[in-house]
Amino acid sequence: MCKSWMITAAACAAFVMAGSPSPAQTAGGRIPRMADGKPNLTGLWQAFGTADWDLEDHSAEAGPFFQLGAIGAIPPGQGVVEGGEIPYLPAALAKKKENQANRWKQDPEVKCYMPGVPRAVYLPYPFQIIQSQKDILFAYEYATTNRLINMGKPQEAATDTWMGTSNGHWEKDTLVVDVTGFNGLAWFDRAGDFASDMLHVVERYTPLDANTINYEATIEDPATFSKPWKISLLLYRNRDKNARLLEFKCVEYAEQLLYGDLVRKDSK
Amino acid sequence: MNQRIFLWMSTGAIAAMMAAGPLAGQTSVVVAKPDAKAADKSDAKAPTKTKAEAPFAAPKTPWGDPDIQGTWTSDDTWGVPFERPKNFGTRATLTEDEIKAREKAVERSAEFVENGGENHSPAKAQIDAAAKGEAPPAPPQGRYGRGVDSAPVPGHWGEFARRASHQTSQIVDPPDGRLPPLTPEAQAKLDAKNKLRRDPVPASYENWSWYDRCISRGVAGSILPVIYGNGLEIVQTPGYVAIRYEMVHDVRIIPTDGRPHLSSNIRSFMGDAVGHWEGKTLVVETTNLLGDRMAVGVNGDGGPPYSEDLKLTERFTRVSANTVNYEMTVDDPKTYTATWKVAFPITHEPGYQLFEYACHEGNMAMHNMLSTARLEDAKKTSAAPQPAK
């Protein structure tokens, strides 16, 4: 916006100082900062890669619907799990395999349910961070899901939810978000990876430059895993001109799947 | 449901305003602590912008914008009719006596919620009567007599006004506080929608409102007060204001850096909002809405489906520590023969917070209603004379 003739040089300078990371200002690589010196993560972000297909290494394979041809196929991907494999307890591994076998019906993403954390971060949709001088809003395009990171005094989860209760703090330039209070219904990916309601996620968002965030999540759930494990991947800023978070309300696209057998036959 | 609904009905408001929505679909509800005593005294008698207030130094963000951040609710306008009852004419505010009566009603409803847990829904009335061996009361007419809308709703689910609004209606323009006449086109759409909604044996999920289907309540429906879920939270950063609404977890990201609207080819339920600051007022203009679906009314379903030409202009002005005056001007010439405006305060209440409203995820009501409807179909088929073999 500093290019606009309407904005005086002084106003433009003040705006840059305040840290609004518009693409024109962030191309140089400097991490935008808030007035208090903390990194300003405000912007439109998205993960590359295929973590939402499978957090672990996976080969390409056919999708379930031949009608979709190559569009419906599963792309290959290198895993984002440190150490390669998720350390499931035996019973949990069996459950994961069962999930995977039934994924086209059981995956909460198929049903347009909230994605939980960390899945929301690496879904193949962008998300918008709005960082105030207090709390930080994460708004995800998928299903209009959102969560507020409480940056004040940590709050205990009032109830179990899909997206959990997020308490954040800064460790130098890293935003650390501690998430608890999950309902145990979300999956981690389309391959059936999952956790129970004892899930505890600690996320670390570290800006590497103006347009890249290093994302790490430590995942802990003694009912599902033999030890805590970690994923790491990069988040990229969408710098396209006038890039905006759009609306993807997917409920409509899941209704026939969910309720179709209860619709009067002659009406659909 | 609770008694406030009935109090409020007596004000002559349209029944559609009470749509309770997908009650069984929620996993968490707002339990707004009735903390009237802790409420900001300076706001106690000033629910409308007409009251002169001591000069208020509006807080600013570190980057110099007016700071309207925090959790707000339209609860204080709960009980104020959407359209003004005709007997008030062009009188926009209550008389002293009328205010006293509304204060009493507000007190009663707060007490009711505080002592919560009691059910006052039509279905509960039937169950109670049956338990006592009494004749069941006449079932309510219209859509409230069936399905999720007649389900018992415990009192503690309810939100309530903490202060008596002085307004005679939520609509403040035209001067009679009533909706302008509909265009013939809009009336036809309204009739078609009502026919769909009131089908006693619905064929499909498409018979229900976008809210019942947990898709959206739209921009207006997300703030017009209903029985619960009136909360919203505002978060600001340089160049943006974001508003998240509890119900159906809708969220709007509003750029305030002067950028244009999205291409008109991109349409959505919440539309494309762009904003700017006029002094201490945030002005938000929303276009690019999907036409022929939702209404500018309660829960996004009260009224005729609006056209894709709808333009909403909202104004948020912080007038005290705990009050933001809210206005919304509705401009849709294909639907309404004139523009119209609602205005009411939204307030910050101690102890009030937003919870995750996983509406679709828990929408068992849709399953239940549709399976009941198919059972009705099956009964009809089996009762019909069988063709000769």
- What CA–CA distance (Å, rounded) separates A149 from A146? 10
Q: Between A14, A146, A162, which is nearest B251 by CB?
A: A146
Contacts with B349 (C-beta within 8 Å, 6 or more apart), sequence order: B32, B35, B39, B71, B73, B75, B162, B322
- For residues B342 and B315, the answer to whether their CB atoms sit within 8 Å is no
B21 part of a folded domain: yes
Question: Are A148 and B233 a contacting pair at CB < 8 A?
Answer: yes
- What CA–CA distance (Å, rounded) separates B209 from B269? 13
pLDDT in tens, chain A (268 residues): 344 444 444 444 444 444 444 444 445 479 999 999 999 999 999 999 999 999 999 999 999 999 999 999 999 999 999 999 999 999 999 999 999 999 999 999 999 999 999 999 999 999 999 999 999 999 999 999 999 999 999 999 999 999 999 999 999 999 999 999 999 999 999 999 999 999 999 999 999 999 999 999 999 999 999 999 999 999 999 999 889 999 999 999 999 999 999 999 975 4
B167 part of a folded domain: yes
Q: How far is A225 from chain B (nearest CA, A)?
A: 26
The complex scores an ipTM of 0.89
- pLDDT of B117 higher than 70: no
Quick check: B244 contacting A, CB < 8 Å?
Answer: yes
- pLDDT of B89 higher than 50: yes
pLDDT tens by residue, B222-253: 999 998 899 999 999 999 999 999 999 999 99
- For residues B122 and B128, the answer to whether their CB atoms sit within 8 Å is no
Q: Tell me the pTM.
A: 0.84
Q: Between A108, A130, A161, which is nearest B240 by CB?
A: A130
Measured between CA atoms, the residue of chain B closest to residue A136 is B235
N- to C-terminal Cα distance for chain A? 49
Question: Are A247 and B269 a contacting pair at CB < 8 A?
Answer: yes
pLDDT tens by residue, B261-296: 999 999 999 999 999 999 999 999 999 999 999 999
B386 part of a folded domain: no
pLDDT tens by residue, B362-371: 999 999 999 9
- What CA–CA distance (Å, rounded) separates B236 from B228? 25
The pLDDT of residue A59 is 98
Using a CB-CB cut-off of 8 Å, the residues of chain A touching B354 are 148
Instruction: Name which residue leads in pLDDT, A132 or B141.
Output: A132
Confidence of residue B96 (pLDDT cuts 50, 70, 90): very high
Quick check: A135 contacting B, CB < 8 Å?
Answer: yes
B385 part of a folded domain: no
The pLDDT of residue B29 is 34
B290 part of a folded domain: yes
B45 part of a folded domain: no
- What CA–CA distance (Å, rounded) separates B373 from B148? 13
B52 part of a folded domain: no
Confidence of residue B34 (pLDDT cuts 50, 70, 90): very low
Quick check: B213 contacting A, CB < 8 Å?
Answer: yes
Range of the domain at B67: 3-33+59-376
Contacts with A94 (C-beta within 8 Å, 6 or more apart), sequence order: none
Interface of B with A in 20-79 (CB under 8 A): 27-28, 61-64, 69
Quick check: A133 contacting B, CB < 8 Å?
Answer: yes
pLDDT tens by residue, B144-189: 344 444 444 555 667 888 899 999 999 999 999 999 999 999 999 9
- Domains, in order of start, for chain A: 31-267 (2.40.128.20)
Quick check: B257 contacting A, CB < 8 Å?
Answer: yes
Per DSSP, the three-state class of B148 is helix
Q: How many domains does chain B have?
A: 1
- Among A212-221, A229-238, B107-116, B208-217, name the one with the lowest average pLDDT: B107-116
Q: What is the percentage of chain B residues whose pLDDT exceeds 90?
A: 65
Quick check: B116 contacting A, CB < 8 Å?
Answer: no
Confidence of residue B14 (pLDDT cuts 50, 70, 90): very low
Interface of B with A in 142-201 (CB under 8 A): none
- pLDDT of B212 higher than 60: yes
The pLDDT of residue B251 is 97
Question: Chain A interface, mutation test: which of B210, B360, B370, B371, most A Cβ atoms within 10 Å?
Answer: B360
Question: Are B356 and A252 a contacting pair at CB < 8 A?
Answer: no
B44 part of a folded domain: no
